[in-house]
Amino acid sequence: MGPLAGLKVVEFPAIGPVPMCGMLLADLGATVIRLERRQPAADLGVERPLKYNLLLRNRPSISVDLKAPDGARFAMELLDSADALLEGFRPGTMERMGFGPEPCLARNPRLVYGRMTGWGQTGPYAAMAGHDLNYIAMTGALNAIGRRGQPPTPPLNLVGDFGGGALYLALGVMAAVFAARGGGKGQVVDAAMVDGAASLMTPFFGMAAAGLLNPERGTNVLDSGAPYYDVYRCADGKYLSIAPIETRFRRVFFDKLGMGGDSMDGDAKAGWDALREEIAARIATRTQAQWCAVFDGTDACVAPVLSIADAPAHPHNRARGTFIDIDGVAQPAPAPRFGGTPTATPRPPEPVNSRYEQCLRGWGWSDAAISQWQGNPAVGPGA
């Protein structure tokens, strides 16, 4: 089920953005086989029971010793009929293992070779280690996030790993598959987190060039500078997100908050500090639930700041089915949604080799082809 039904993807072992990309493609219906090391690496250095490693949901994995000749041959035979490959090693690693673009595309000219790195395949930093925070630091994104007078604030690893990494890899792979199916050939997709994070900053570079963005963080409308685009503490210690950027929405907000018409002069930066203090004082008089009762159903652009524990239970999220329960674990549902080719409920993360023969049959291999690998110490249960 899903719009990507029939797409076949081989995912090489990696952490972070590559598993996220594999999950996204599998959630939308692609058949993804994840090749796993004998001892899987801990994602983000966090050990946890398999059922909670949600980036591994919805696709089987097979253990393969890629350094062994038989393991390498097994992986190549999978790639012979694949539409796409996903890998996240440092530049040159796949080539040293014998899985570089040249031999893979020689065997399967229509293969889309998706490469995920932090710095990219080329450039002075290409061979250096790094993580999300380093990549977004190089693009202007990190410097722009934070409050006035405070150091830059790390925004989880959403901007580099997942936004600038996994999503751009998925987009690039699907664009290349589209081109290949339209009569073209396979190609390499060089997806770098530094490039993706920079791309996400496009509108802000335009604003800066036009002189409409103050280089000091925490002084602009969208970076907590404006008092009407911020979070405020309620009487119960919980928070509200306030975001009525447009004048017409701000009018609703101030009316519901019980503030006078003078408050509408919110575009005058000279009055931002005083206005923030007044908003904070009023928000602090009621609980989050009480304020939601005031603002829900209006155009005031106000919403509660929910924890990971609370988000699945919110009435809007429940009505939308934004979160689902899989094997007793609440987690985000597949996104986006499709009217004509709906996605199936994802399967929970599975132990390595738990559906070894089944997934190879689903890949199109015959029983005879599968039996040739039975008991091989480099592949599957024998590895």
CATH code for the domain of 272: 3.30.1540.10
Same domain, yes or no, for 91 and 175? yes
**Inside any domain, residue 281:** yes
Same domain, yes or no, for 242 and 191? no
Query: Which of residues 245, 278, 305 is at a domain's end?
Result: 305
**Inside any domain, residue 126:** yes
CATH number at residue 23: 3.40.50.10540
* Residues forming a β-bridge with 323: 332
Structural contact between residues 303 and 240, judged by C-beta atoms closer than 8 angstroms: yes
Same domain, yes or no, for 250 and 132? no
Same domain, yes or no, for 181 and 89? yes
Between CA 126 and CA 124 the distance in angstroms is 6
**Inside any domain, residue 151:** yes
* Residues forming a β-bridge with 302: 242
Structural contact between residues 52 and 329, judged by C-beta atoms closer than 8 angstroms: yes
Same domain, yes or no, for 296 and 372? no
Query: Which of residues 305, 338, 363 is at a domain's end?
Result: 305
Domain that holds residue 230: 226-305
Same domain, yes or no, for 123 and 240? no
Same domain, yes or no, for 153 and 287? no
Look up residue 165 and give its two tokens: 């990494």
Between CA 360 and CA 163 the distance in angstroms is 31
Same domain, yes or no, for 43 and 124? yes
Active-site residues, by number, are: 131, 161
Same domain, yes or no, for 72 and 123? yes
Listed in sequence order, the residues at least 6 apart from 208 whose beta carbon sits closer than 8 Å to its beta carbon are 215
H helix or E strand, kind and range, residue 112: strand 112-117
- Nearest in space to 169 (alpha carbons), one of 20, 318, 308, 296: 20
Between CA 227 and CA 220 the distance in angstroms is 10
Same domain, yes or no, for 22 and 171? yes
Same domain, yes or no, for 119 and 33? yes
Same domain, yes or no, for 118 and 265? no
- Give all strands (DSSP E) within the chain, no chain letters: 8-11, 31-36, 61-63, 84-87, 112-117, 188-192, 230-233, 239-242, 302-305, 323-326, 329-332
Between CA 170 and CA 232 the distance in angstroms is 36
* Residues forming a β-bridge with 131: none
Between CA 4 and CA 342 the distance in angstroms is 10
In the chain, the number of structural domains is 2
pLDDT 10s per residue in the chain (383 long)?
Answer: 899 999 999 999 999 999 999 999 999 999 999 999 865 555 555 677 999 999 999 999 999 999 999 999 999 999 999 999 999 999 999 999 999 999 999 999 999 999 999 999 999 999 999 999 999 999 999 999 999 999 999 999 999 999 999 999 999 999 999 999 998 899 999 999 999 999 999 999 999 999 999 999 999 999 999 999 999 999 999 999 999 999 999 999 999 999 976 666 656 788 899 999 999 999 999 999 999 999 999 999 999 999 999 999 999 999 999 999 999 999 999 999 999 999 999 999 999 999 999 999 999 999 999 999 999 999 998 77
* Residues forming a β-bridge with 379: 64
* Residues forming a β-bridge with 72: none
Query: Which of residues 271, 305, 339 is at a domain's end?
Result: 305
